Structure 1
Amino acid sequence: MENTSVRIDPPAAPARPRRTGRRIVAAVVATLVVLTLGAGGVGWYYSGELLVPYSGEPQFRDLVLATSTATVTLEDSENSRQPGTFTLVWPGGATRVGEVVRRSGEQVERKLIGAGTVTAGTKVRFDNDVFDGDPKRALGLDFTEVPIASELGPMPAWLVRPETSADTGVWVVQVHGRGASRDETLRMIPAIRKLGYTNLSVTYRNDKGAPISPDGLYHLGDTEWRDAEAAVRFAVQNGARKVVLFGYSMGGAIIGQLLARSELAWNVAAVVLDAPVLSWKKTLDWQAGERGLPKFLTPIATTVSSWRSGIDFDRLELIERPPAAKPPTLVIHGSADGTVPVQASRDLAEQSRRLAWPVQYEEVPGADHVAAWNLNPAGYEQMISAFLTRLPGLRPS
């Protein structure tokens, strides 16, 4: 019998590609896991920056190089060269500085208009709030500290009444921004009082002296609007004939949600918004760009923030979801705002007719975030006074 051998060659292709395919899939999965964990970590960090009330020590980034009786010279920086009037704060002291007198090389010399004494070599920070304390200490105005009854407990507020003979029955409820305090509202109290309006500078959950939110987090207006609503209710119950809402930065987002979700929104006769957050998504995109982060992290940050706090970010988009109540609104925004994008305010102004929302928009060239008053206090106050006194029921008698 013939012995016949048959050669059987191993298959050339199938096995190796399958192993390579598995390696590729494993590598892709591993990469996605790393990216997801990394992005998730960044998202968690970013959401913490957004939601966790700041409790650390303030940072002092600017350096005083020299002082005289009339001026202070600082190291050149974005802060030190910005135009306007600001408070210069350092550990244990503060003073007020005015316009830039001279800028040369790496130095900026500014007018010294406050009483405090700062020495060369001191690290300082610039603060928009040129007044601090309370209306009596800061402005010499009598006031009453009143508790506003909210769902979480009493929220302290400053009540400053006009001269009795000038009282118009109009109340202005001022709502400060995220991480700020009632000090932010002190700048406008004298002008409000001069119009014959009552001023109510309010606090909301997580403010100093106010109740803490159940989860200890900011909700970016998604729950804080209820505290502002409580302030409107207090005003109405205590004789307010008309209510004006005045919000700064996140205070604008809070007011937007009050207009959208409160039954008391129809008591609001007018709104003033200074550098308002009209879109948290656009704001986060903007801030990501300012920090050199890719914009794809914004959805991750909002997803993580929603998971942590229950915030509905879509609901907070005021242009896409405008409120039912749309009282006459003055929006003021600085063109040099590095915190909240000015484009969102421009968009609201451009689309106001489509939205059936009477919006007057005033852009202040060169002003940074909530610094339009600092740039030109008299002009800022006149802009607001002119807007309010044109409206029926808000004119001084």
Structure 2
Amino acid sequence: MGTFKIEGGHQLHGEIIPQGAKNEALQILCAVLLTPEEVTVNNIPDIIDVNKLIDLLKNLGVKVKKLGKGTYSFKADDIDLDYLQTEQFKQDGRGLRGSIMLVGPLLARFGKGYIPKPGGDKIGRRRLDTHFEGFIKLGAKFRYNREEHFYGVEAQKLKGTYMLLDEASVTGTANIVMAAVLAEGTTTIYNAACEPYLQQLCKMLLRMGAKISGIGSNLLTIEGVDSLGGTEHTMLPDMIEIGSWVGLAAMTQSELTIKDVSWKDLGQIPNAFQKLGITLEKKDDDIYIPKHTNGYEVQNYIDGSILTLADAPWPGLTPDLLSILLVVATQAKGEVVIHQKMFESRLFFVDKLLDMGAKIILCDPHRATVIGHDFKSTLKATTMVSPDIRAGVSLLIAALSAKGTSIIHNIEQIDRGYENIEERLRNIGARIERI
């Protein structure tokens, strides 16, 4: 189990370039299975979850070539479907949440898709019903082995249909879209997710020859085609990492510039930080955060009532940033309620922040009230364990702002979502080492 040793309490300075988007990568890499032709993908982040998926594709028979930093070519012209029934696949697939999105492309192109119950973060239940209900509506037969937690769908030919999704699941929508592009006839998906990463997937599929309309809305119409061709795709910068660096700058009262952030795809993220009183300046396509020498003050609602920051489907605030916003609020002037609607275990990391001296009331599994210190007192260094990707980075931000030396164990969770994080932090003046 890896460990970070962090000497906190130092201001940072400089520029940081965000990595390619993790959540987009998991969708895009699964989509290469939809064609036997070569697909080239740029700006792929070098992180554990993405590298696991690339290895999974190799084991399936996809020819993978690394063409340069963050650039790979994929050719799925000789897929080994027998691998899907092996114990090795059951083991490999369990270790990665994004493996569920292999099912749609495999079902569409080969008539069968299997997956073990995926693992990943310990942040609460993540239902797969939306995925499989979509496949069933497209004409697939579903089976589930309870003893082995092994899911399967099979169909001779998928047929387009109308469906109203029970929730606007991003991965569920992506999976159903990838299945529907090769189905016979027209598929209409209402209450579809419309996150920028899903828009990116749809645009990539269009370049491959798919017929999709309504991109960017919650109503997608897909006319099935017989086959798809190769393409080249470049991934967006990771909006969650961008939000992490904004939070880091505020908490350490540092002057930072985040380069090439694709402002138009950030949605509510800048607004959420501004509600906490943090100054963000748009400079071309960069975010400049000045030193918050005098701190930052939470903006209450116009009637004076306490601010609530809550997650919601796009264009609402992404749930992946609430852990970061919660940590940033611990040094704000004022109070804020953090309402994590989607996952019931994601706020449980606040006990580590309480150990560091934060003032937080955990109201229930979904809501926490944070009373900010306004930098009148700093957080205290401590030893802690990272429970998931976003909580891990939130604790890392807290440790970098705290006086003294902190230890964070189980940093593999952070490595799952953040590329080469300690070196990039050292480049802007952080005192952090991997031990």
Q: Per the shorter chain, which TM-score range? A: under 0.3
| TM-score, normalised relative to structure 1 | 0.28
| TM-score, normalised relative to structure 2 | 0.26
Question: Which of the pair has the greater relative contact order for Cα pairs under 8 Å at 6+ separation?
Answer: 2
